């Protein structure tokens, strides 16, 4: 009997927390852009930085500034949805060539994984890359791509390859928190 009461109390107590409370308890903060229609979690200790003529928003680690997340918003042809732009692999290759390793950039990007997920009726492509910069530095990028409001939203998380094993779980959580509406 007491176990049932304790279980009910625990369930009621746990549901009384909002998502932002849970995010804070897990070491994350929430970023919401209601004007453009997207949101995501980012780690405590990361700072938002202004970038001219680039991503809509960028956050990076206070200490290791090369660890970052960003959102890029691009137009899509009228009435197109994500599936009409291509499969996850096709979109992943296009994104790699256009954004991560454009011609003459000296960068190389290898698409290592491309999958589709659905969340709240929206389709997302999760794309994973290994990137080599012109200076030889190796990076690991994970992107979440979605179409909403006639725009292509690309959420990208990037960390040095040497830190990937340590940060993988956190980065996966951040990328999976990205939602458009």
- Identify the pLDDT of residue 68: 98
Q: Residue range 109-128: average pLDDT?
A: 98
Q: Residue range 17-29: average pLDDT?
A: 60
The one-character DSSP state at 98 is I
Question: What CA–CA distances, in Å, run from 156 to 31, 52, 118, 150?
Answer: 14, 17, 18, 19
Which range has the worst mean pLDDT, 25-34, 54-63, 84-93, 122-131? 25-34
Domains of the chain: 34-180 (3.40.1000.10)
Q: Residue range 109-127: average pLDDT?
A: 98
- Identify the pLDDT of residue 9: 38
pTM over 0.95? The answer is no
Q: Residue range 5-20: average pLDDT?
A: 39
Query: What tokens does 144 get?
Result: 């979440």
- Residue 148, φ and ψ in degrees, nearest 5: -155, 145
- Identify the pLDDT of residue 53: 87
Distance between CA 60 and CA 45 in Å, rounded?
A: 9
User: How many residues comprise the chain?
Assistant: 181
First to last CA, the chain: 44
Residue with tokens 């994984």: 113
**Which run of H or of E encompasses 174?**
helix 161-177
Each residue of 94-105: pLDDT tens digit? 999 999 999 999
Report the SS3 class of residue 84. Answer: helix
Distance between CA 178 and CA 172 in Å, rounded?
A: 10
Instruction: Tell me whether residue 135 is exposed, middle or buried, using C-beta atoms within 10 angstroms of its C-beta: 0 to 12, 13 to 18, 19 or more.
Output: exposed
- Identify the pLDDT of residue 23: 53
Q: What angle do CA 148, 113, 152 make, to 5 degrees?
A: 15
- Identify the pLDDT of residue 121: 94
C-alpha Rg value of the chain to the nearest Å: 18
Each residue of 136-148: pLDDT tens digit? 999 999 999 999 9
């Amino acid at each position: 009997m007491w176990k049932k009461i304790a279980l009910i109390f625990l369930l009621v107590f746990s549901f009384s927390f909002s998502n932002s409370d849970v995010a804070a308890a897990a070491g994350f903060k929430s970023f919401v852009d209601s004007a453009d229609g997207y949101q995501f979690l980012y780690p405590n200790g990361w700072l938002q930085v202004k970038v001219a003529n680039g991503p809509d928003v960028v956050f990076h680690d206070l200490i290791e500034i090369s660890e970052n997340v960003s959102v890029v918003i691009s137009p899509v042809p009228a009435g197109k949805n994500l599936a009409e732009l291509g499969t996850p692999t096709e979109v992943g290759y296009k994104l790699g060539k256009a954004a991560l390793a454009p011609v003459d950039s000296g960068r190389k990007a290898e698409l290592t994984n491309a999958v589709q997920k659905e969340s709240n009726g929206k389709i997302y492509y999760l794309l994973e890359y290994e990137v080599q910069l012109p200076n030889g530095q190796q990076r690991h990028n994970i992107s979440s791509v979605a179409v909403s409001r006639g725009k292509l939203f690309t959420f990208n998380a990037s960390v040095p390859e040497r830190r990937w094993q340590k940060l993988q779980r956190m980065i996966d959580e951040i990328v999976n928190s990205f939602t458009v509406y």
